[in-house]
């Protein structure tokens, strides 16, 4: 009997600790790892980062140049359950139960445009509100060009990878709703 009570006591303590840990990771801070080359030369494949989730929790608007993590599934409404499912431990548990891997929808990108901004892509550069951006962080001159002028909608941001010639970003999926901006890089 004493062994069972002791085991239940330990089990409760472990559940409380796990719930606290998941809560911190979902709403405050989250370690993450870069997957791919789209943020080179600033960030590298498999590099570890610490992300602040406070902006997402309190619905803050990021600033120009911020490196953020986003949910690229812009065609669907994001809900609180998504924040928990994106937690690394829960993600792997769900993967084990479902037996399949969902496509990578969490991206690390740089904020280039905010609501109301107009963006153009010409002559190998990004122009925001008619002015060419000075971007010392990009890997190389961009080969992408478009005659389209994009206006970032209200409650959205426009994000791009620093490796412009090897990045799938807002140029291809559109502007990212603010509730899909999941966090901001603190340090690497």
Q: By C-alpha distance, which of 51, 63, 58 is closest to 25?
A: 51
Beta-sheet pairing, 48-52 with 118-122: unpaired
- Which residues, listed in sequence order, are joined to residue 173 by a DSSP beta bridge? none
Q: By C-alpha distance, which of 124, 40, 112, 42 is closest to 70?
A: 112
Q: By C-alpha distance, which of 104, 81, 71, 103 is closest to 22?
A: 81
**Collapsed DSSP state (helix, strand, coil) of residue 91:** helix
Beta-sheet pairing, 67-71 with 181-187: antiparallel
Which residues have a catalytic role annotated? 38, 109
């Amino acid at each position: 009997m004493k062994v069972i009570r002791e085991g239940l006591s330990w089990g409760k303590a472990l559940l409380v600790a796990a719930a606290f840990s998941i809560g911190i990771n979902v709403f405050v801070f989250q370690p993450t790892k870069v997957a791919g080359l789209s943020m080179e030369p600033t960030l590298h494949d498999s590099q570890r980062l610490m992300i602040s989730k406070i902006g997402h929790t309190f619905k803050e608007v990021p600033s120009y140049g911020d490196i953020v993590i986003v949910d690229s599934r812009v065609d669907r409404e994001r809900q609180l359950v998504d924040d928990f499912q994106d937690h690394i431990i829960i993600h792997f548990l769900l993967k084990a139960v479902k037996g399949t891997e969902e496509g990578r929808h969490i991206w690390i990108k740089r904020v280039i445009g905010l609501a109301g901004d107009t963006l153009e892509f010409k002559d190998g550069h990004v122009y925001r509100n008619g002015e060419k951006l000075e971007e010392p962080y990009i890997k190389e001159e961009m080969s992408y060009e478009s005659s389209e002028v994009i206006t970032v909608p209200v409650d959205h941001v426009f994000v791009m990878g620093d490796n412009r010639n090897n990045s799938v970003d807002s140029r291809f999926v559109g502007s990212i709703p603010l509730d899909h901006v999941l966090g901001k890089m603190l340090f690497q």
